């Protein structure tokens, strides 16, 4: 039964990730694409040479290409999220399925995206030297891996401290430790600044803001959708009880 | 009455799924998800499994907007 539960959670996680990906795609298309176009226009105005062969047209890149990238990313986030949920359920604290899913996706948004983003933010086309792509890719994935490991370590340390400090202060201490370790990583990892001198600051800010909005949409909607689906898998009989708990108090103890 | 109703909503012993049940799914799908993220986020950038630029160009906008280093 347990293996079946993991399988159905995994399938629902990937479906919830796909649905969250659709919402993120809408944000990406409406909020992000205008900035990508503006950055490409800047790049073309400043290019010294022309005549590159266009393998994929801009019309395809900004629609089917964007959809492929965001949806495949959404499915992978959903699959990883579901596996992490299976592990976290009942092991992190006394949370139900929906609360576990919401907390997990919030923490994952922070550890997987926001922490690496604050050190190595998303860049629009024309920002970034093609010569340093290897170094930048290594640093980005290193920062991401480090951030995830530190977040997992913070949860483990928090659990260990809980009997001595109580849940609240153990959580505060673990979060402070996480912030300190992330700060040290920020200080010691090399900085990357390859923004062309006359690149519009507003465009850079708006592009990065839209990149952040895409991730927030993806992870928050995944957490809520997957929590709803997971609750129904793990607690199939409880669904009608939602109305019962909302009813007068006399009916509530029946749960 | 209001107090007695509240704790009833929290399960006495939270349900956990045994690691033995999670592990096979985690290994197989973990590798699959990593491969998907690799193709969206990094293929034909720093490293290249497939020659050419077609994968990079196809996911170009997604790669920029999802925050991966592109070019």
Residue-level pLDDT, tens digit, chain A, 255 residues: 688 999 999 999 999 999 999 999 999 999 999 999 999 999 888 876 655 667 899 999 999 999 999 999 999 999 999 999 999 999 998 899 999 999 999 999 999 999 999 999 999 999 988 889 999 999 999 999 999 999 999 999 999 999 999 999 999 999 999 999 999 999 999 999 999 999 999 999 999 999 999 999 999 999 999 999 999 999 887 655 555 554 444 444 444
Whether residue A90 is found in the same domain as residue A210: yes
What is the number of other CB atoms lying within 10 angstroms of the CB of residue A4? Answer: 10
Give the count of domains, chain A: 2
Which of A194, A210, A235 corresponds to the end of one domain? A194
* Res A234: pLDDT: 93
Residue B47 three-state SS? strand
Does residue A255 sit within a domain? no
Whether residue A36 is found in the same domain as residue A88: yes
Whether residue A159 is found in the same domain as residue A205: no
Does residue A138 sit within a domain? yes
Contacts of B14 in chain A (CB under 8 A): 89-90, 94-96
Q: Which of A174, A147, A172 is nearest to A158 (CA)?
A: A174
A10: exposed, middle or buried (C-beta count within 10 Å: 0-12, 13-18, 19+)?
buried
* Res B2: pLDDT: 46
Does residue A182 sit within a domain? yes
Whether residue A123 is found in the same domain as residue A240: yes
Q: Return d(Cα A234, Cα A254) in angstroms, integer.
A: 19
* pTM, two decimal places: 0.89
Whether residue A212 is found in the same domain as residue A175: no
Q: What is the mean pLDDT of residues B56-69?
A: 94
Contact status of A136 with chain B (Cβ, < 8 Å): yes
Whether residue A96 is found in the same domain as residue A154: no
Whether residue A140 is found in the same domain as residue A241: no
Nearest to A62 among B24, B32, B61 (CB): B61
Does residue A54 sit within a domain? no
- A residues 20-49 lying closer than 8 A (beta carbon) to B: 28, 32-33, 36
Whether residue A164 is found in the same domain as residue A215: no
Does residue A52 sit within a domain? no
Contacts of B23 in chain A (CB under 8 A): none
Does residue A87 sit within a domain? yes
* Res B46: pLDDT: 86
Contact B70 A123 (CB under 8 A): yes
Size of interface A-B (CB pairs under 8 A): 176
Does residue A49 sit within a domain? no
* Res A251: pLDDT: 45
Does residue A36 sit within a domain? yes
Q: Return d(Cα B15, Cα A239) in angstroms, integer.
A: 17
- Residue A181 is part of which domain span? 130-194
Beta carbons of B67 and A210 less than 8 angstroms apart? no
* Res A54: pLDDT: 79
Contact status of A90 with chain B (Cβ, < 8 Å): yes
Whether residue A209 is found in the same domain as residue A117: yes
Whether residue A120 is found in the same domain as residue A244: yes
Which of A176, A194, A212 corresponds to the end of one domain? A194
Whether residue A75 is found in the same domain as residue A104: yes
Whether residue A6 is found in the same domain as residue A107: yes
């Amino acid at each position: 039964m347990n293996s079946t539960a993991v399988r159905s959670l995994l399938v629902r996680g990937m479906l919830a990730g796909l649905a969250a990906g659709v919402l993120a795609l809408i944000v990406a298309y409406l909020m992000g694409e205008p900035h990508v176009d503006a950055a490409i226009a800047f790049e073309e105005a400043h290019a010294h040479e022309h005549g590159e062969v266009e393998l994929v047209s801009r019309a395809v890149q900004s629609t089917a290409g964007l959809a492929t990238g965001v949806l495949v990313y959404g499915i992978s986030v959903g699959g990883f999220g579901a596996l992490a949920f299976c592990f976290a359920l009942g092991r992190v604290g006394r949370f139900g399925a929906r609360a576990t899913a919401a907390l997990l996706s919030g923490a994952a948004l922070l550890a997987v995206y926001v922490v690496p983003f604050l050190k190595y933010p998303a860049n629009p086309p024309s920002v970034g030297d093609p010569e340093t792509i290897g170094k930048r890719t290594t640093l980005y994935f290193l920062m991401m891996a480090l951030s995830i490991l530190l977040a997992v370590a913070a949860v483990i340390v928090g659990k260990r401290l809980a009997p001595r400090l109580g849940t609240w202060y153990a959580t505060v201490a673990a979060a402070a430790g996480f912030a300190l370790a992330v700060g040290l990583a920020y200080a010691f990892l090399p900085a990357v600044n390859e923004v062309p001198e006359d690149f519009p600051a507003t465009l850079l800010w708006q592009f990065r803001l839209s990149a952040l909005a895409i991730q927030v949409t993806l992870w928050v909607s995944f957490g809520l959708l997957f929590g709803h689906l997971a609750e129904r898998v793990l607690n199939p009989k409880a669904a009608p009880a939602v109305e019962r708990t909302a009813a007068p108090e006399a009916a509530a103890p029946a749960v | 009455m209001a107090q007695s109703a509240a704790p009833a909503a929290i399960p006495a012993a939270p349900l956990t799924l045994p690691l033995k049940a999670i592990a096979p799914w985690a290994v197989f799908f973990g590798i699959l998800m990593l491969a998907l993220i690799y193709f969206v986020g990094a293929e034909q950038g720093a490293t290249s499994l497939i020659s050419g630029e077609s994968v990079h160009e196809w996911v170009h906008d997604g790669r920029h907007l999802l925050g991966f280093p592109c070019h």
